[in-house]
């Protein structure tokens, strides 16, 4: 892994609702190295997609970045103008959305959509565009005849591959992926994940992969960030997070997955439900559901503490108190 | 979570059974093509039992649920509830009574509740339809009891809440309460937890297990998630392209899968505890169910397919006691075709 290509520093996003603003992303910081696969996991409403959109500067009102910076290739994306952003988007970083059916234009062929994308980023001849379109489709293993196909003629798995191929048109350094596999069946999902990983190893781009399904990225991501109620509560090497989860929420999430292997054990999940971002509890946001809650958890929010190279936002690890697990 | 029973241990009587249940849909065009959504499904649900129906999109599992709920009429085949054929049901009154015995819980708790009515409204209205003998007061008591049964307390307060005031998990519990208030025998649960967050799914699966153990209720748990099927069900049926390809006791089928499709499905389940097993070249293309013709429907994706798979449709045959699969290669050829 070479240098850092993306730095997110204290990024905060508010949804400006009529009553009072809700903080969907709260002072999130992390960086992404060139060629790295970073997984971001969390439940619905934890702010994971909002964070991804904020990184790509794709938020629309009522969501608004109210603080922090997103440094990508030496520039702060938050302060770029629309014109400057357009030059960077797709050329230097691209996005793969959850629903390819909604992301693709239903009345244009795949080839025409690739052509539009290429044309809006510089002068390319028809032959160049066609050659590049063939190349990227070949990368994802789809026959070039489908350049003449319309989105509805393809299966769900093929549509997502077409989207990924489109994201590769300019060989960007970073691809943001928002649950690209969640609309797919389990076999198609596994096959697409394997392909994404292979493409990454072949072409060397970095990935930020947002998902609600922790187990999905377990074999694919280098590092994993777990989000809860707008904040990153744990960040570390994927394998370490799975083998030895530090935050009680991460542990609870892992214990909520039934397994197809090993002995059958009764699971309990996590009691209660994720909080409403407009009415967050005082202190640690996980305190109403936490099995290891302590008096100080109601008083103030924990910082992100470093424990053996991992980061965890929990008082159990405060001031080198060590693990009480 | 149900205890795993060994074969022969469970001797509960048959509650619902289907015989060669089939449903085709005519789709447009001059040639009159047919979509084979469900083809010849034999399914048994015993009293006090959770049966999982597992399959991917397009496998026909939801069509089975709708057939059992009498939303669709079967093209051919029959459904028997406690030995009585649904073909004998003609009067509207009897249809309502049947649906009260075999109610359905839907996948999406956000669209299955009317946002302009408080939670009490669908509960009371359902009771009025399905249990017409109750007085207004009894209906309110029954609704409250059903809400308490799924852990929505205080029940009286809950009845005056609106869907937007509840979390996804709570809304799905309302769906279960509605089904339970009819005093059903079998609840058709069509992907009841797939729209919910991981941390609250287990709570609903545990609720199903408890209702089965304590109240003797049966469930047909329809899902694409094999791990949750293993967690909650006694028996499992795996569907592919409208047909059952494997069935048996859940632990049997999942620990010793016989059909190549079941094996493929199991190998694709993401499991952080398991070592990575990436081998399959299968990219998960959906099955063809429009005029499928003769032959095994999985043969286009099957790594084991042989010549006969294209000519003869395999039937479910016993692979080991209580464990059936439909595969020429792994189970054996049908009588008369062995060479």
Q: Which of B181, B131, B187 is nearest to B155 (CA)?
A: B181
List CB contacts (< 8 A) between A187 and chain B: 56, 264-265, 268, 280, 282-284
Distances (CA, A) of B217 to B51, B94, B207: 11, 21, 11
Residue with more model confidence, A323 or A47: A47
Question: Average pLDDT in the A216-235 region?
Answer: 92
| Interface touch B170/A213, C-beta < 8 Å | no
d(CA A22, CA A200): 36
Distances (CA, A) of B302 to A186, A323, B106, B311: 16, 49, 33, 15
Query: Over the stretch B198-210, which tens digit does the pLDDT of each residue have?
Result: 888 888 899 999 9
- For residue A102, what is the DSSP state? H
Q: How many CB pairs under 8 A join A and B?
A: 140
Chain B closest-CA separation from residue A188 CA (Å):
4
Mean pLDDT of chain B: 87
d(CA B146, CA B132): 17
List CB contacts (< 8 A) between B282 and chain A: 187, 191
Confidence class of residue A324 from pLDDT cuts 50, 70 and 90?
Answer: very low
Instruction: Measure the CA dihedral A192/A198/A202/A204, to 10°.
Output: 80
- Which chain A residue shows the shortest CA-CA distance from B264? A187
Distances (CA, A) of B265 to A260, A318, B51, B56, B220: 11, 44, 18, 9, 20
| Interface touch B271/A215, C-beta < 8 Å | yes
> Is residue B14 predicted with pLDDT exceeding 60?
yes
Query: Over the stretch A68-124, which tens digit does the pLDDT of each residue have?
Result: 999 998 889 888 888 888 888 888 999 998 877 788 899 999 999 999 999 888 888
Q: Is B232 exposed, middle or buried (0-12, 13-18, 19+ CB in 10 A)?
A: buried
Query: Over the stretch A302-318, which tens digit does the pLDDT of each residue have?
Result: 989 999 889 999 999 88
> Is residue B146 predicted with pLDDT exceeding 60?
yes
The least confident of A43-57, A58-72, A168-182, B267-281 is B267-281
pLDDT for B65 equals: 93
Query: Over the stretch B233-262, which tens digit does the pLDDT of each residue have?
Result: 999 999 999 999 999 999 999 999 999 999
Q: Is the dihedral of CA A135, A138, A143, A148 positive or negative?
A: negative
Q: Does ipTM exceed 0.90?
A: no
| Phi, psi torsion values for A199, nearest 5 degrees | -60, -40
pLDDT for A75 equals: 87
> Is residue B289 predicted with pLDDT exceeding 90?
no
Give percent of chain B with pLDDT exceeding 90.
Answer: 57
pTM to 2 decimal places: 0.86
The least confident of A134-138, B7-11, B301-305 is B7-11
- Which chain A residue shows the shortest CA-CA distance from B268? A187
List CB contacts (< 8 A) between B254 and chain A: 260
d(CA A317, CA A313): 8
> Is residue A257 predicted with pLDDT exceeding 50?
yes
First to last CA, chain A: 32
**Structure tokens, A294:** 């302590």
Q: Which of A140, A197, A192, A134 is nearest to A165 (CA)?
A: A140
The least confident of A168-177, B5-14, B142-151 is B5-14
Q: How many CB atoms lie within 10 A of CB B94?
A: 12
Query: Closest partner residue to A185 among B56, B227, B273, by Cβ?
Result: B56
Query: How many residues are listed for chain B in this entry?
Result: 339
Query: Closest partner residue to A186 among B56, B170, B254, by Cβ?
Result: B56
pLDDT for A322 equals: 46
Question: Average pLDDT in the B59-86 region?
Answer: 92
Question: Average pLDDT in the A261-278 region?
Answer: 82
Tokens 């008591």 correspond to: B141
| Interface touch B276/A219, C-beta < 8 Å | yes
> Is residue B8 predicted with pLDDT exceeding 60?
no
| Interface touch B270/A44, C-beta < 8 Å | no
pLDDT for A95 equals: 92
Query: Closest partner residue to A155 among B224, B266, B286, by Cβ?
Result: B286
Interface subset of B 255-294, CB within 8 angstroms of A: 264-274, 276, 278, 280, 282-286
Confidence class of residue B5 from pLDDT cuts 50, 70 and 90?
Answer: very low
Tokens 């998960």 correspond to: B284
């Amino acid at each position: 892994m070479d240098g850092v290509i993306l730095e997110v520093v204290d990024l905060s996003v508010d949804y400006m609702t009529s009553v009072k603003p809700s903080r969907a992303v709260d002072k999130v910081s992390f960086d992404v190295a060139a060629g790295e696969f970073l997984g971001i996991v969390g439940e619905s409403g934890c702010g994971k997609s909002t964070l991804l959109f904020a990184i790509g500067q794709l938020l629309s009102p009522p969501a608004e970045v109210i603080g922090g910076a997103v440094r990508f290739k030496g520039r702060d994306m938050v302060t770029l103008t629309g014109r400057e952003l357009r030059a960077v988007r797709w050329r230097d970083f691209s996005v793969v959305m959850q629903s390819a059916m909604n992301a693709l234009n239903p009345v244009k062929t795949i080839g025409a959509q690739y052509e539009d994308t290429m044309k809006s980023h510089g002068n390319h001849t028809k032959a160049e565009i066609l050659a590049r379109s063939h190349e990227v489709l070949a990368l994802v293993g789809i026959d070039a005849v489908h350049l003449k196909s319309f989105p509805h003629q393809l299966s769900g798995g093929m549509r997502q591959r077409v989207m990924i191929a489109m994201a590769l048109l300019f060989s960007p350094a970073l691809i943001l992926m928002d649950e690209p596999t969640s609309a797919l069946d389990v076999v198609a999902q596994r096959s697409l994940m394997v392909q994404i990983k292979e493409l990454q190893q072949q072409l060397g781009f970095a990935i930020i992969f947002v998902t609600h399904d922790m187990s999905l990225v377990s074999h694919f991501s280098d590092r994993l960030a777990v989000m809860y109620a707008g904040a990153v509560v744990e960040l570390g090497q994927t394998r370490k997070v799975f083998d030895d989860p530090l935050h009680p929420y991460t542990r609870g999430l892992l214990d909520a997955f039934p397994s197809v292997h090993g002995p059958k054990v009764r699971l309990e999940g996590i009691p209660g439900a994720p909080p409403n971002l407009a009415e967050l509890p005082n202190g640690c946001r996980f305190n109403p559901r936490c099995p290891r809650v302590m008096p100080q958890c109601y008083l103030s929010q924990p910082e992100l503490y470093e424990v053996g190279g991992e980061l965890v936002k929990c008082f159990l690890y405060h001031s080198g108190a060590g693990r009480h697990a | 979570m149900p205890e795993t029973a060994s074969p022969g241990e469970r001797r509960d009587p048959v509650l619902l059974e289907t015989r060669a249940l089939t449903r085709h849909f005519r789709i447009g065009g001059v040639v009159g093509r047919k979509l084979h959504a469900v083809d010849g499904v034999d399914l048994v649900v015993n009293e006090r039992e959770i049966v999982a129906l597992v399959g991917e999109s397009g496998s026909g599992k939801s069509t089975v649920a709708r057939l059992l709920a009498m939303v669709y009429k079967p093209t051919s085949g029959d459904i028997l509830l406690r030995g009585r054929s649904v073909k004998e049901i003609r009067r509207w009154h009897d249809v309502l009574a049947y649906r009260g015995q075999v109610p359905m819980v839907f996948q999406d708790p956000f669209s299955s509740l009317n946002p302009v009515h408080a939670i009490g409204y669908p509960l009371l209205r359902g009771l009025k339809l399905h249990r017409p003998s109750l007085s207004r007061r009894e209906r309110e008591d029954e609704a409250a009891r059903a809400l308490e049964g799924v852990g929505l307390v205080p029940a009286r307060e809950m009845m005056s809440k609106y869907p937007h005031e509840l979390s996804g998990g709570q809304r799905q519990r309302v769906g279960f309460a509605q089904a339970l208030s009819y005093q059903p025998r079998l609840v058709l649960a069509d992907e009841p937890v797939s729209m919910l967050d991981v941390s609250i799914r287990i709570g609903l699966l545990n609720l199903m297990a408890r209702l089965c153990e304590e109240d003797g209720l049966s469930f047909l748990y329809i899902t694409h998630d094999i791990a949750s099927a293993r967690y909650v069900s006694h028996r499992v049926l795996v569907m592919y392209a409208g047909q059952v390809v494997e069935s048996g006791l859940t632990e049997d089928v999942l620990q010793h899968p016989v059909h190549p499709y079941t094996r493929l499905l199991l190998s694709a389940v993401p499991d952080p505890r398991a070592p990575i097993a990436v081998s399959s070249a299968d990219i998960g293309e959906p099955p063809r169910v429009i005029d499928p013709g003769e032959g095994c429907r999985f043969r286009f994706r099957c790594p084991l397919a042989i010549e006969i798979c294209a000519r003869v449709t395999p039937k479910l045959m016993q692979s080991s006691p209580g464990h059936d699969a439909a595969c020429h290669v792994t189970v054996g050829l049908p009588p008369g075709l062995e060479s």
